[in-house]
Structure 1
Amino acid sequence: MTFSRRSFLAGSSALALSSAPIIGRAQGSDKIIFASILDLSGGLDIYGAPMAETTKMAIDDINAAGGLLGREVELKLYDAQSTIQFYTQYATQAAAGDRAHTVHAGITSASREAIRPTLSRFQTLYFYNVQYEGGVCDFNNFCTGSTPAQTVAKVVPYAMNKWGKKVYIVAADYNYGQITAQWMQRFVKENGGETLDVEFFPLDVTNFGPTINKIQTAKPDFVISALVGGAHVSFYRQYAAAGMNKEIPIASTTFGVGNEQTLISAEEGDGILASYGYFEGADNATNTEFLSRLEARLGADRPVMNELAVRSYEGAMLWAEAVKMAGTPDRGPVIEALRSGLTYNGPSGAVTIDPKTNHCNMNVYIGELKDQKWNIVESYADQPPADTQLVCDLVANPNQSTFMFENGLAAAGIE
C-alpha cells in the first residue's frame, strides 16, 4: 500500500480485541484507541463481518509497521447486533468510556444518524466507510464510501443503454432506499427514460410475490434495486424462481456489498449489474497484493471483498496517515491533515479527501455478475461526490453539522 505523501509498510501481527462492551482504557495509557462499531450479528451481518475483518487487518498492518508515532493502536470492536439502540450505547462508550481517538462505525444511514450527533458532541472523530445516499455535511465526519452521483449516475444510463428506457424501482424503506430511489428517478428522467413504479420494503420483509406479479404486469425493460439486508436476498431468489430473471433483468445499487452473489446460485444471479467504488477485479498492483495478503491471513474461504470491506481498510489507513502527518492523534490536527487533500493509494485505486464535503474522490466501476463473480465492464477515474457538493461547503462554512437529504432531494433544493 502506498500513500501519496509517504510510504507505508504492510504486514500483519496479532492484536487482542473485544467484541463485547468494554469498560475503557486505563488512565495514562499510551495506546492510540481506534473504536469500530459494526453489525456482526443480526440481519446486517452480511455487511459487517467482512468490514470487521478488514478493519482488524488494517490495525494489524499499522502496528506491524511500528504503530503510529511510536505508539501501539488498540482496536475496540463492538457488535451492534443490527440494533440502533446498541449503536447509541456503544458510541457513547467509545467516546466517553474508551476515550477513542477515532470511531469508524455504522452501516445503514439510520445507524449513522443515530451516532453522528453523539460523536460530534463528544468531539470524537468519526469515519463512515459505507456507500450511502449522500448529503452528510459535518466537519467532524468523514464519509469514505461512494454516493449516488458517483455510482447510481453511472449504472442507470449504462443499464438503460443496454436494456431500455422503462424502469421499475424496488428499495428499502428507510433513508437510504427512499433517497436513493429519488436519485434513480432523477437519473432515469435525465437519460430520457420513464419510471413505471417505485415500491419500498421494510428490512424484515421476505415475501416479494405480490411485487414480482406487479413487475410482470408492468413489463419494464429492467428493474433497479436498492434493497438492503439479509432478508431482502429473498427478492432475488423469488424473482428467479418466477422465471423473471430471464425476462426482465436487474441492476442494483446494493446487491453485492453484502456478498449476496454468494448466497444465491449462478443461475439466479447471472446478468445483474451494479456500480461501486470497488470490485475484486480492480486492476492494480496494490489490489493484487492486498488480496494475496488477505487470503494468507484468512485462508481460501476468506470473504469476497466489496466496497464496504475495502473502504473500511482504506478509511483506517487514511486516518493513520493523517495521524502521522499531524504528529498527534488529537482530533483537530488530524482533521486538518485529512482536509489537506490527503490521498491514499489502496486496493480500489486513489482515494482523495474532498475538503468541501469530507467525502472522497474515487475510482468507480460497473460490474456484471457471471457465475457468482463480478466482471468489471466499465471504469471511471477520480469521480467527485458531486451530489453532496451541491449542498455542502465545509470550506466556506465549517460549522455545518447536518444531513442535508434527510427530508429528500426536493427539501434540499434538488429537483
Structure 2
Amino acid sequence: MKDLQRRHFLGLGAAGILATPFLARPAFAATDKIQVAGIHDASGGIDIYGRPMINCLNLAVDKLNAAGGVLGREIELVNYDPQSNMQLYAQYATEAATRQKAAVVFGGILSASREAMRPVLDRYRTLYFYSLLYEGGVCDRNTFCMGSTPGQTLEKFTPYVMQKFGGKKVYVLAADYNYGQITALWIEKFVKENGGEVVRADFFPLDVNDFGSTIRQIQAAQPDIIMSVLVGGAHNAFYRQWVASGMKDKIPMASTTFGIGNEQVLTTPDEHNGIIVSYAYFDGIQTPENEAFKAEYYAKFGDKADAITEGGAMTYHAVNLWAKAVEMAGTIEREPVIEALESGLSFAGPAGLTTINAQTHHNTLDSYIAEVRDNNYVVLESYAQQPPSDTLAVCDLKVNPTDATQYVVEVPK
C-alpha cells in the first residue's frame, strides 16, 4: 500500500497511481477523518470502464477536501482494485465495511460485480452508490443507482436511429449477461413500436473476440441497421473486423455501449466514425459546468488520461450528492443520510441535473444522443429529466422500504 496525500490504493499497480499535482488543502481540525471506499477495476478485463470512474472519484474527493471537507472533516479515500474478479468485489466490500469502516462505498461495473457487493453492504449497513449504466430493476434502500437505464435512453434513441438511417430491419449484437439480454428486449420493443422488426439478436460471452461467422450472418440477413450492445475489451474486435469485411459503409450502426469504456479512443476513426450512441453524459456536452469539469480533470490527470465516460461523470455526481446529503443530515450516519437523499436532492454538474428519485433510489437525469467522429462525440440531441421509468414499474421503496431485490424488469410487448 502506498500513501498518497491521505489517499490509498489497494491492489493497484504502478499504472493506477496518479502522479499529478494535488489540490491545495485547508488545515483540518484534529477530528476523525470520514472513511470512503472506491471499488473499481483498475486492472483486468474490464479496467477500461473502471479507470475513468476511479479518476472522477479521486477528483470529487480532492475537490471536497480542498473546500474544507464534509462537516468540516477530511475525507480519507481508499481505492480497491478487484482486478475484474467477482470474488474480490465481495472480499473488498467486506473489508471496506468492517476493517475500514467506510461511511459509503462507490463501486461496481458489471451487474455481477454490483450483485457481489450489494448483499454484503446491506448486511453491514454500509451505504452504496453504483454509477454505471445498467439494465434497471435494483430495488434496495441501501443502494443508489446513478447511471442511466434502458427506459431513460432507448425510448428516444431507437426511433431517432431508425429515422436517421431510414431503416426498419434491425440486427442486434449483445453481450451475454443481464444488461445485454434485457437491453435487447427493450430494443425489440421500441423497434416494433416504430414499425420495424429485429431480424436477429445474437449474444456473446465477454471473452469472444472472433466475429467472422457473425458478420457472414449479418451479410445474409441484410438488415438496415446494426444495434451493438457489445461490452468489454474483447468485443472491440468486432468493430475492427466489421471494417475489414467492407461492411461499415454499407450498413450503419448504433450502440448502447460503444464509448462507455472509451472505445472511441481505442478504435480508429475508420472503425468508429458515424456510430450513433446515447448516454447520460458525453464529453461533448457544451455547458459551463462540463467545460469546467473537463478542465479540472485534464489539469489533474494529464492530457493522456482516460476520457471521461458516463460512469465517470455519474461517479462525480454521486460523490457530490452524498456530500450534500451528509451536510443536510449533519451526520455521516446511514439512516439520516438516506432520508436526506430521498428528500428530492439534486446536483447540477457536468452531466446536467441529476435528482434522486425517492421511490427507486435511481436518478432522474438528462439523456443525450451523439455521433462518434474522429475520437470524439458530437452531441446531436438532448432530453431533459428522464425518469427511471423501467425501475419505477417494479420498485417502490416508500411503500416497501425493506425490499432488497433486483427485479428482472418485464419488457412490455
| TM more than 0.5 | yes
What corresponds to 2:367 in structure 1? Answer: 364
Residue number in structure 2 paired with 1:217: 220
Q: Residue 15 of structure 1 contacts residue 60 of structure 1 at CA under 8 Å; is this kept in 2?
A: no
Give the equivalent residue in structure 1 for 2:92. 90
2:25 equivalent in structure 1: none
Q: CA RMSD in A?
A: 1.4
Deviations 1:239-288 (CA, angstroms, capped at 9, x unpaired): 11111111111111110011101111101111101000010121211111
User: Which residue is equivalent to 1:178?
Assistant: 181
Whether the aligned pair in 2 keeps the contact of 1:19 and 1:78 (CA below 8 Å) is: yes
Alignment match, 2:129: 127
Q: Give how far 1:15 is off.
A: 4.1
Counterpart among 76, 80, 83 of residue 82 in structure 2: 80
Percent identity of the aligned residues?
53
- Tell me if 1:200 matches 2:203: yes
Distance in 1 (alpha carbons) for counterparts of 2:321 and 2:5 = 21
Between the aligned partners of 1:171 and 1:277, the Cα distance in structure 2 is: 20
> Equivalent residue for 2:22?
none
Q: Deviations over 1:320-368 (max 9, x none)?
A: 1111111001100000000100000110111100101100011110010
The correspondence for 1:20, drawn from 6, 11, 15, is 11
Distance 1:142 1:246 in 2: 41
* Distance (whole Å) between structure 1 residues aligned to residue 245 and residue 11 of structure 2: 43
Distance 1:19 1:249 in 2: 43
Which letter does structure 2 place at the counterpart of 1:287?
A: N
SS of 1:145 mapped into structure 2: coil
Deviations 1:146-183 (A, max 9, x none): 00011122221111112211000111111111111111
1:238 correspondence with 2:241: yes
Q: Is the 8 A contact 1:46 1:258 kept in 2?
A: yes
| Within-5 A mapping of 1:143-158 | 143-158=145-160
Residue in structure 2 matched with residue 3 of structure 1 by the alignment: none
CA distance in 2, matches of 1:216, 1:409: 31
What is aligned with 2:21?
none
Q: Whole-Å Cα distance in 1 between the matches of residues 310 and 355 of structure 2?
A: 15
Q: Find the counterpart in structure 1 of residue 357 from structure 2.
A: 354
2:381 to 355, 370, 378: 378
1:187 aligns to 2:190 (yes or no):
yes
Query: Partners of 2:196 and 2:393 in 1: how far apart?
Result: 24
Q: TM-score, normalised by structure 2?
A: 0.93
Aligned to 2:141: 139
CA contact 2:284–2:376 (8 Å) conserved in 1: no
Q: Please list every run of 5 or more consecutive structure 1 residues that lacks an aligned counterpart in the other structure.
A: 1-12, 22-27
Please give the secondary structure, in 1, of the residue aligned with 2:7: coil
Counterpart of 1:252 in structure 2 is: 255
Deviation of the 1:19 alpha carbon: 2.4
Q: Secondary structure at the match of 1:151?
A: helix
Q: How far apart, in 1, do the equivalents of 2:203 and 2:367 lie? A: 26
Contact 2:42–2:81 (CA under 8 A) maintained in structure 1: yes
CA distance in 1, matches of 2:196, 2:139: 31
CA displacement at 1:30 relative to structure 2: 1.1
| Alignment correspondent of 1:338 | 341
Q: Does 1:265 align with 2:268?
A: yes
Q: For 1:80, give the aligned amino acid.
A: P
Contact 1:252 1:275 in 2 (8 A): yes
Q: 1:30 aligns with which of 25, 29, 32?
A: 32
Contact 1:273 1:367 in 2 (8 A): yes
Aligned amino acid, residue 33 of structure 1: Q
Name the SS of the counterpart of 1:18 in structure 2: strand
Aligned mates of 1:313, 1:218 — CA distance in 2: 42
Task: Say whether the 8 Å CA contact 1:261–1:269 is kept in structure 2.
Answer: yes
Say which of 318, 321, 340 aligns to 2:321: 318
Q: Quote the offset at 1:14 in angstroms.
A: 4.5
Q: Which residue number in structure 1 is paired with residue 282 of structure 2?
A: 279
Equivalent residues of 2:31, 2:73 under 8 A apart: no
Counterpart of 2:406 in structure 1 is 403
| Whole-angstrom CA distance in 1 between matches of 2:319 and 2:75 | 11
Contact 2:7/2:78, CA 8 A, preserved across alignment = no
Q: Is 2:229–2:257's contact at 8 Å kept on the other side of the alignment?
A: yes
1:137 aligned partner, one-letter code:
C
Cα-to-partner distance string for 1:72-108 (whole Å, 9 max, x where unaligned): 1111100010110110111111111111100111000
2:24 maps to which residue? none
Q: Deviations over 1:299-337 (max 9, x none)?
A: 222221121111111111111111111100110000000
TM-score calculated relative to the size of structure 1: 0.92
CA contact 1:159–1:251 (8 Å) conserved in 2: yes
Residues 291/15 of structure 1: CA separation in 2 closer, same or farther (3 Å cut):
farther
Equivalent AA in structure 2 for residue 20 of structure 1: G
Whole-Å separation in 1 of the counterparts to 2:31 and 2:94: 19
Residue 17 (structure 2) aligns with:
none
Cα deviation code 1:362-412 (max 9, x no counterpart): 11100101111110011101111111111111112111111111xx626xx
Deviation, 1:20, is 3.0
Q: Kindly indicate whether the alpha-carbon contact (under 8 Å) linking 1:169 and 1:195 is maintained by their aligned counterparts in 2.
A: yes
Counterparts of 1:133 and 1:68, CA distance in 2: 32
> Secondary structure of the residue that 1:393 maps to in structure 2?
coil
Moved more, 294-303 or 250-259: 294-303
What 5-or-longer segments of structure 2 have no aligned partner? 13-29
Cα contact 1:155–1:251 (8 A) shared by 2: no
Aligned to 2:47: 45
Verify the 8 A CA contact 2:11 2:82 in the aligned structure 1. Answer: no
